[in-house]
Amino acid sequence: MSGMHTAVDVIRAKRDGHRLTDDQIDWVVDAYTRGEVADEQMSALAMAVFLNGMDAAETARWTAAMIASGSTLDLRVDRPTVDKHSTGGVGDKITLPLAPLVAACGAAVPQLSGRGLGHTGGTLDKLEAIPGWRARLSDAEIMAQLADVGAVVCAATEGLAPADRKLYALRDVTGTVESIPLIASSIMSKKIAEGADALVLDVKCGSGAFMKTPADARALAEALVEIGVAHGRRVSALITDMSVPLGRAVGNALEVAESVDVLRGGGPEDVVALTVALAREMLSVAGLSDVDPAEVLASGRAYDVWDRMIRAQGGDPDAPLPTAEHVHTVTADRPGVLAALDAYAVGVAAWRLGAGRARKEDPVQAAAGVLCLAKPGDVVGEGAPLLELHTDTPDAIPAALAALEDAVHIAADAPAPGPLVLDTLRG
């Protein structure tokens, strides 16, 4: 095969705006994973793809080649398996209440999740705030827990789509992250390799999201759904608003506490609404649409699954969560209505307080983050508390406050908040 292709030929083809052939794609992804194609050559190809794009068939084939670079899981148990992927947001703790809720409704939910980078939090970092909980499970442990509890949230096993891990690190340092075909194939190679029957995507849109505009979010959602369909999966995508943080808690332990509130029948309205909307869609693609997730959530059955899920991974769901040594309150400088609370700025503040990381190997503080005491639409008096900054490193507070400088907008009146779910695409 390598006699037929050289990296330079593949780079030139894409540089000059041509469609890559299936053979070229299969060869270059495999050769790069094996180290036969050098990083600088793959960087050049990634930039050519970034500038010239790939069509739907090329993207589906690129995804297939990334899946073929490693092992795949077969997560079939005696009930339909369905997974959810969020493109990342601020305060997006939805996986925590959602996985046990959908399991309580009769599906099996394997959530192979990631860690946070930059201003968006990682599901595994959140759950590691629970004393004893462990993220790393073997394939056998994942299968046993799926069969027994019905839900598992854990780290992706090493063997899945190694091409993606290698390429993602390269894109990160070469300015080629924001390419829809590369983002879509990265997400879907991992999700398809993981082997769930069906998948629901939460594509975030707005300042706190990766995709800032509805048009970009829709283009990504369409690409994700197209890849899923090409690979024979049942896939839906919800485009959801991420201009304001989800719920009130942004951080690790803070978000776990809020998730538990939701599972116990309380919690912020927006978190409950999005959890139920995604649960409905997951049950629909799993062929279980006769179950009402709102009713199951209210009944407490989802909390029981959470309890078993956390215990199965060594965690103590009854243990107190870590709390921050320092809390700094941001207050309103004038009376009025909170008209805007910028998700990106809150995400950066939480990150600077210690909730997130700048590099993959950085540790995170379990207790750090931001509590949003007021949300857009709330009437506030002068001096009313708006945000609480939580951290174990008080030196971080000035940098967090700097990030929040333009985050809060108080006006005489404010328009009613828009819808949370902006659109739904089905494969």
pLDDT (average), residues 293-298: 97
Strands 336-341 and 408-411: antiparallel
Average pLDDT over residues 80-105: 96
Decide which of 3.90.1170.30, 3.60.150.10, 3.40.50.20, 3.30.470.20 is the CATH code for 326-411.
Answer: 3.90.1170.30
Residues of the chain with CATH 3.90.1170.30: 326-411
The pLDDT tens digits for 380-396 are: 999 999 999 999 999 99
Residue 231 is among the residues annotated as catalytic for this protein? no
CA torsion angle 74 79 85 90 (round to 10): -130
H-helix segments, 233-361: 253-263, 269-285, 293-299, 301-312, 343-350
pLDDT confidence band for 3 (50 / 70 / 90): low
Query: CATH second-level architecture of 7-68?
Result: Up-down Bundle (1.20)
Domain with CATH 1.20.970.10 in the chain: 7-68
Exactly one of 92, 125, 164, 342 is catalytic; which is it?
164
Place of tokens 């601020």: 90
Over range 41-46, report the average pLDDT.
Answer: 97
Catalytic option among 84, 126, 166, 190: 190
- The H or E element spanning position 84 is strand 82-86
- Choose the catalytic residue: 14, 119, 166, 171: 171
Domain 82-158+175-318 has CATH 3.40.1030.10: yes
- Count the helix, strand and coil residues of the chain and give each as a percent rounded to the nearest 5: 45, 20, 40
Catalytic status, residue 85: yes
Reply yes or no on whether 9 is catalytic: no
The helix/strand/coil state of 238 is strand
Q: Is 126 a catalytic residue?
A: no
- Please pick, among 186, 189, 243, 259, the residue that the annotation labels catalytic: 186
Percent of the chain beyond pLDDT 90?
85
Answer yes or no: are the C-beta atoms of 352 and 399 closer than 8 Å: yes
- Mean pLDDT, residues 114-120: 75
CB atoms within 10 A of CB 138: 10
Reported confidence tier of residue 76, pLDDT bands at 50, 70, 90: confident
pLDDT mean over 40-61: 97
Report the pLDDT value the prediction gives residue 117, as an integer from 0 to 100: 66
Spatial contact of 183 and 217, defined as CB atoms under 8 Å apart: no
Give the pLDDT confidence score for residue 121 in this predicted structure.
77
Residue 403 in this model has a pLDDT that exceeds 70: yes
Element (H, E) at 111: strand 109-113
- pTM (two decimals): 0.94
Task: Count Cβ atoms below 10 Å from residue 418 Cβ, excluding itself.
Answer: 10
Inter-axis angle of helices 7-15 and 39-52, to 10 degrees? Answer: 20
Q: Which of 14, 61, 84, 85 is catalytic?
A: 85
Region of residue 88 (phi > 0: left; psi between -120 and 50: alpha; otherwise: beta): left
Confidence of residue 334 (pLDDT cuts 50, 70, 90): very high
Residue for token digits 């629901």?
200
pLDDT band per the 50, 70, 90 thresholds, residue 2: very low
Query: Residue 275: what residue type?
Result: T
Contact 112, 160 (CB under 8 A): yes
Q: Going by DSSP bridges, is the β-strand pair 369-372/385-391 parallel, antiparallel, or unpaired?
A: antiparallel
Could you identify the residue written with the tokens 């009402």?
Answer: 292
Average pLDDT along the chain? 94
Residue range 220-237, pLDDT digits in tens: 999 999 999 999 999 999
Positions of CATH 3.40.1030.10 in the chain: 82-158+175-318
Amino acid at 116: G
At 361 the pLDDT is 73
Based on the residue annotation, tell me whether 171 is a catalytic residue of this protein: yes
Share above pLDDT 70 across residues of the chain, in percent, rounded to a whole number: 99
